[in-house]
Structure 1
Amino acid sequence: MALDKPYKDIPGTTIFDAEQSRKGYWLNQFCMSLMKADNRERFKADERAYLDQWPMTEEQKQGVLTRDLNRCIAAGGNIYFLAKIGATDGKSFQYMAASMTGMTQEQYAAMMLAGGRSAEGNRYIGEKAATQSNKEQA
């Protein structure tokens, strides 16, 4: 039985729920393995060979190899686990967050210091349709 998931209506947001957790289990386990120095060294020496030791999907592996965190999240990754990849690469969490928005780290920091993204048009997917309908009725 599928659960009602009203949060699916939030644009640009993937909620890490039980379904995502199951989907990304091995991806997140791989990320946690990077907490050990010897595993980080093995991963950095041959990323593909190290990833192939994990029963991850090809989509998950490609997300890691290309450092496409949005792709990893869509494939079940949790940002707190994925942060281990950034740490392995010597990248800050801010750098990683910026990469997910298409901004530079400096642009992302400036946006966040200015109060973050506007909520206008980003509350829920139906908001845009409701706003347009209201404008047409006026």
Structure 2
Amino acid sequence: MTEFRKDEPISGTLIFDGNMAMKGYALNKMCFSFNSAENRDAFKANEDAYCDQYEITDAQRAAVKSRDVLELLKLGGNIYYLAKLTGMFGLNMQDIGAQQSGVSLDEFKAKLLAAGEK
């Protein structure tokens, strides 16, 4: 079994550490608020005004507007909180996995099925 070494991250993987948590605090706090249907409705009614409430950065706001999940991850978004936001966009974890892998959704699903058969 290969031992994980903190100084050798998995290629292409973003490490969500304390620095990333601080970088994405406002974004993740906003995403957490989407546990409430009322908040989801408020966001859908006026995204800009809703983002203003949480003082997310201009870069984070641009990534939200463009629905760029990978950029949101790079900007400190935690995938578990971002799932609340991406769910409102009609994306699920397999959609996000495909984006992270750089393949189509169908290719990603095929990879999952093939891995399950091993």
Secondary structure of residue in 2 paired with 1:41: helix
Take 2:25 and 2:77, find their aligned partners in 1: how far apart are those partners? 8
Offset, 1:94:
1.2
Identity in percent: 41
Unaligned runs of 5+ in 2: 1-5
Write the deviation string for residues 59-100 of structure 1: whole angstroms up to 9, x where unpaired. Answer: 111111111111111111111110001222233221222233
Corresponding residue for residue 3 of structure 2: none
Matched, 1:23 2:23: yes
Query: Paired residues, what number?
Result: 111
- In structure 2, what residue type is equivalent to 1:13? T
**Residue number in structure 2 paired with 1:74:** 74
Partner of 1:57 in structure 2? Answer: 57
Q: Which residue of 1 aligns with 2:88?
A: 88
CA drift at 1:10: 3.2
Trace 1:1-138 onto structure 2 (pairs within 5 A).
6-7=7-8, 9-115=9-115
Larger radius of gyration: 1
> SS at the partner of 2:115?
coil
Gaps of 5+ in 1: 117-138
Q: Distance in 1 between matches of 2:73 and 2:89?
A: 18
For residues 85 and 33 of structure 1, what CA distance do their matches in structure 2 show? 10
CA distance, structure 2, for counterparts of residue 100 and residue 62 of structure 1 = 19
